[in-house]
Every structure is written in C-alpha cells, then in structure tokens.
Amino acid sequence: MGEQTGTSARIAGQRDPSEGGTPPVIDAAFARWLADRAGQVLLQVREDVGYADGKALKAAGDKAAHDLLTAELARWRPADAVLSEEDDHSRVAWQEGEHGTVRPDRLDASRVWIIDPLDGTREFSEEGRSDWAVHVALWTADCSSPNCLAAGAVAMPARHRTFATDKAPAYPPLPLAAATGGPMRIAASRTRPPAFVTALAEDIGAELVPMGSAGVKIAAVINGEADAYIHAGGQYEWDSAAPVAVASATGLHASRIDGSALKYNQADPKLPDLVVCRKDLAPRLLAALQRHLP
C-alpha cells in the first residue's frame, strides 16, 4: 500500500505547475476547471496503479486529487478557506468549551471551498465502473440563497462529463413514463439502500435505480435519468455541496428530508440527509417521507 500511495505522490509531484494554464477568474468557471483537472489526475492514477489492490487504489486516488485541489486553491484563491473530506483539521466537528476542539479557520472565513476529491471511492476502485466523481463547491457568507452555495462543479471523468453552475444544465424534461402515469425513478445506493427508501418506494409505487456516488446520483436527476435522489444517514457537507449547487442552479428542489434548508459550513459538517427532485414531485415526496422517516 505504501508503494502504491507513493505512486500517487509521484504523479502529483511530477505535474508541471503551469500545466493547467491560467484558470478562469469567475468562481463558477474556476470550480469547473478545478474539478476537471482533478478528474484527469484520477484517471491517470487508475491507469498507473491498476485494480489489483483496490484499497491501495482508493488511497492513491484520494491523495492525488486532494493534493491537486488544495495546491491550486492555495495558489489561486489563497485568502479562501477549504473544507475537504481528506483534511482532518478542517473536517473536525467543532465544539466550544473546556472539552472542545480547536476552532477551524473555515468558521471565521467569508469564502469556503467545500471539496470531495473523490466521491464514490468503491466504484473508483472497480475496473469498468464510471459512477464516481469530483466535487468542488464554494460557500459564501454574503449570500441570498438558503444554502449559501455560490458555485459548484461535479466532474464525472470516466463519463467525460462535468456539470457546473457556470453553464447550468437545462431543467430536465418531464419523462414519458412520468407523464403517462409510470413509476417514479429514485436513485439509491447500489450497496446500502436505506430501508426507509425501499419502503417509501413500495408505498408510492416508485422504482429504485441503483448507482454509486452521491454526485452521480444527483447528476442523474439533473439529466433526467432519475426523478429523485433521497438519502438519510452517513453523509457530510462535502458529499452534497457541489451537486446541490448545480441542482439548485438548474431549478430542481433540494432540501433536508423534512423539507428544511440544507446549510453548509456548519460547526459540525455532518449533513446526514437530503432529497433532490423535480419541483413538481417535491410535495408528494416530502409528504411520503413523513410516513417513512427513520
């Protein structure tokens, strides 16, 4: 594992700092630029490390993408704070008081980049799978939206697609199945679908569509491959910030499963549940969720 992790370090270290050129000035385009660059590094890690040791491949990918994103943010946005899944200091849940923890810088910053260098590590380590992603989002204190997400990008390198707020995707058209009374399609974890989501799907006659990566699941709602994504338990801000920023820019509904606003850059970055769906489906889904909340 140490040798493989060293491989990712060499990959990151061998990059020419000017390789990506001068990035865009506008934050939303910058987020897309960052996500795309990290995605290219991850594809290279897959090629160089291989799939024989999945655990080593996951570790190499996480490190290489995290190192690239944090280096570029330090270079091009040095005054901004960063909340990353791979940074133990920034991700810690802050507690005030005698037995509290060190207050992370991000809680006093006006601009915070919330990043998940590799979302869907299990799928990343499996040859042939493309349902993994890079998440880059920007939270700002000076905001008018409830979630305060000013920009976001979700790169899906193995699918050669990136969704970002600089060119927000069009609102997905009403699918023929839904228009003709067919079952709603709910994106769900392919390995650990929450029991209440299965019960909810049976209640409303919906079909579960299994796939990996929270970003890929929300992207599926954005591009019309699914009608909704519902999750509860085990997620953090970096799992949803970038895809929620894009979904919101597209005009989709995004909230906690009780209908309240998603809030980011909180003292505790745990953000365990959310629902993203077409706006016309939100009242029906939120009402059904009240009958099945865990």
**How much is the pLDDT for 179?**
67
Which pLDDT score is estimated for 178? 67
CA distance 138 to 152: 6
Q: Which domain holds residue 115?
A: 27-164
The answer as to whether 39 is a domain residue is yes
User: What is the CATH classification number for the domain harbouring 195?
Assistant: 3.40.190.80
Q: Assess if residue 64 is contained within a domain.
A: yes
CATH for 107: 3.30.540.10
Q: What is the pLDDT of residue 98?
A: 59
Task: Return the H-helix or E-strand segment holding 32.
Answer: helix 27-49
What pLDDT score does 227 carry?
Answer: 93
Would you say residue 47 lies in a domain? yes
Q: Could you tell me if residue 51 is inside a domain?
A: yes
pLDDT value of position 291: 87
What local confidence, expressed as pLDDT, does residue 189 receive? 80
Q: Does the model's pTM come out above 0.85?
A: yes
Q: Report the DSSP beta bridge partners of residue 186.
A: 208, 228
Query: What does pLDDT average to in each consecutive run of 10 residues of the chain (294 residues)?
Result: 44 51 94 98 98 97 96 97 83 68 88 97 96 98 94 98 96 76 84 80 90 93 94 90 97 96 95 93 92 76
What total number of domains does the chain contain? 2
How large is the greatest C-alpha to C-alpha distance in the chain, in angstroms? 60
What lies within 8 Å, CB to CB, of 155 at 6+ separation is 32, 35, 36, 38, 39, 133, 134, 136, 161, 162
Is 170 among the domain residues?
A: no
Q: What is the pLDDT of residue 292?
A: 83
| Same domain membership, residue 246 and residue 222 | yes
Q: What is the predicted pLDDT for the residue at 99? A: 61
Q: Residue 3: its pLDDT value, please? A: 43
Binding residue ranges for Mg(2+): 85, 116, 118-119, 239
Annotated binding site: 85, 116, 118-119, 239
- Dist. CA 69–CA 226, nearest whole Å: 30
